[in-house]
Amino acid sequence: MPMYDYQCASCAHQLEAIQKISDAPLVDCPACQAPQLKKMLSMPGFRLSGTGWYETDFKTGSKKNLAGGDKAD
């Protein structure tokens, strides 16, 4: 499950919450009980780097390496 960062617009309290993607966003601040929590933008817990699965998986023959382009022999 993803982790989301929240900050209260009323008291500036920050917290992290583990929630399902389908869960409604949190609204009530646990510090001041005001309904002022807002989701913050944050870094994802993972990142895709390198050649990646999309580059090599599920492809056959000459389509295996599309990023390499056409190379003359």
pLDDT digits (tens, 9 = 90+) for 7-23: 999 999 999 999 988 99
What pLDDT sits at residue 21?
85
> Is 0.85 surpassed by the pTM of this model?
no
Indicate whether 36 belongs to any domain: yes
The reply to whether 18 falls in a domain is: yes
Residue 56 lies in a domain: no
Q: Would residue 29 count as lying in a domain? A: yes
**Contact indicator for 60, 31 with CB cutoff of 8 Å:** no
Is 32 part of any domain? yes
| Position 60 in a domain | no
Q: Extract the tokens encoding 34.
A: 């005001």
Q: Which residues face 5 on adjacent strands?
A: 16, 40
Number of domains observed in the structure of the chain? 1
pLDDT band at 25 (very low <50, low <70, confident <90, very high): very high
Q: Which CATH number goes with the domain that contains 15?
A: 2.20.28
Q: With beta carbons less than 8 A apart as the criterion, state whether 10 and 36 touch.
A: yes
Q: Which residue has the higher pLDDT, 49 or 12?
A: 12
Range of the domain at 16: 1-43
Q: Is residue 24 part of a domain?
A: yes
